[in-house]
Amino acid sequence: MSYSTESLEAFMQAANLGTFSAAARKLGKSQSTISEAIARLEIDLGVELFDRSAKLPVLTEAGRALLQRAEDVLSASERLRQAADLLNAGVESRLTLVISDAYDSPEFQARLHVLGERYPELEFECVFAEYSDALNLVRTGRAALGILPSEPDYPPEIGHVTLAEQAEFAVFVAKEHALASLRPLNRETLGGYRALRLNTLDDLPQRGLDTLSRQRSWSAPSYLILMELASEGFGWAILPRWLVRTYAAHLLVELQVPGWPRHYPLDLVWSKQRSLGPAGAWLREALIAEQG
């Protein structure tokens, strides 16, 4: 059985304000209209919501038990209306952003707060992937936007802009690892120990050390997992500095290897073959605006 929102609203306002007349003034209706709406709701529910024997109506036990349920139904109805309004206005119902662990911006969380306030009914998803894996999520439409270390070339269907932030990478090992106490360090020294590397084929920071480490390496799909492996002493890893500083500074040490740390530009990417909805377009412009 369905119940009209008008009857539920009349019930809720009368219960909260204490009289049918106050509810009528609040809703801009006559008192008789409010009384009839509540009476119809009582008939539909099969219970009395108010005791009318006194001068002022008083919620019955059933009325008190059902008041919160009525408010829940009205809230759900309002969310449904808002979602429909957004869809009618062309706002996407879902927005996915794929991010590399290399990205770190002090403004990012603030942008997400504004996004949530501007589009309260939007379903937002943030996923993490690296390099070609991240790019493929954008190419296939699984993600609307992506932030990843810059590629030298992009497919023609990919739009991109370079952000002001740069990814900063360094070489790390566990404090107890043998490399932590070796001096001096160079590429050949690293080649004698197990490397921990991304299992993508286009790990940019790793490219300069591939010839030394490919035969003695363990791999994982994310920098976060590589950081955990390095913290356990399984080998050395090239990691985003911010990630280690935030989560593993007490477990890892940075190796002073010539040429490191290194900085890599970051790009914001999207598919030219799929139009961004208002929320996606706003987020793209907001992320670009951070660079100003």
The reported pLDDT for the residue numbered 191 is: 86
The reported pLDDT for the residue numbered 206 is: 59
Cα 12 from Cα 250, distance rounded (Å): 55
The reported pLDDT for the residue numbered 2 is: 67
What CATH code is assigned to 5-88? 1.10.10.10
DSSP string, 270-288: EETTS---HHHHHHHHHHH
Tracing tokens 């009582």 back to the chain, one arrives at: 42
The reported pLDDT for the residue numbered 211 is: 46
**Fold (CATH) for 94-165+265-289:** D-Maltodextrin-Binding Protein; domain 2 (3.40.190)
For residues 12-42, one letter each, b for 16 or more C-beta atoms within 10 angstroms of the residue's C-beta and e for the rest, the string is bbbbeeeebebbbeebebeeebbbebbbebb
The reported pLDDT for the residue numbered 170 is: 95
The reported pLDDT for the residue numbered 135 is: 92
Q: What is the location of CATH 1.10.10.10 in the chain? A: 5-88
Q: Which of 289, 283, 277, 269 is nearest to 114 (CA)?
A: 283
Q: What is the location of CATH 3.40.190.10 in the chain? A: 94-165+265-289, 168-262
The reported pLDDT for the residue numbered 145 is: 97
Give the mean pLDDT per block of 10 residues along the chain (292 residues). 81 88 89 90 89 88 88 76 61 90 89 92 92 92 94 88 91 96 87 88 55 68 94 95 96 94 94 89 87 49
Look up residue 46 and give its amino acid.
G
**In which element (H, E) is residue 146 found?**
strand 145-149
Look up residue 256 and give its amino acid.
Q
What CATH code is assigned to 168-262? 3.40.190.10
The reported pLDDT for the residue numbered 290 is: 60
The reported pLDDT for the residue numbered 292 is: 47
**Terminal-residue alpha carbon distance, the chain:** 56
The answer to whether 83 and 121 are in contact (CB under 8 A) is yes
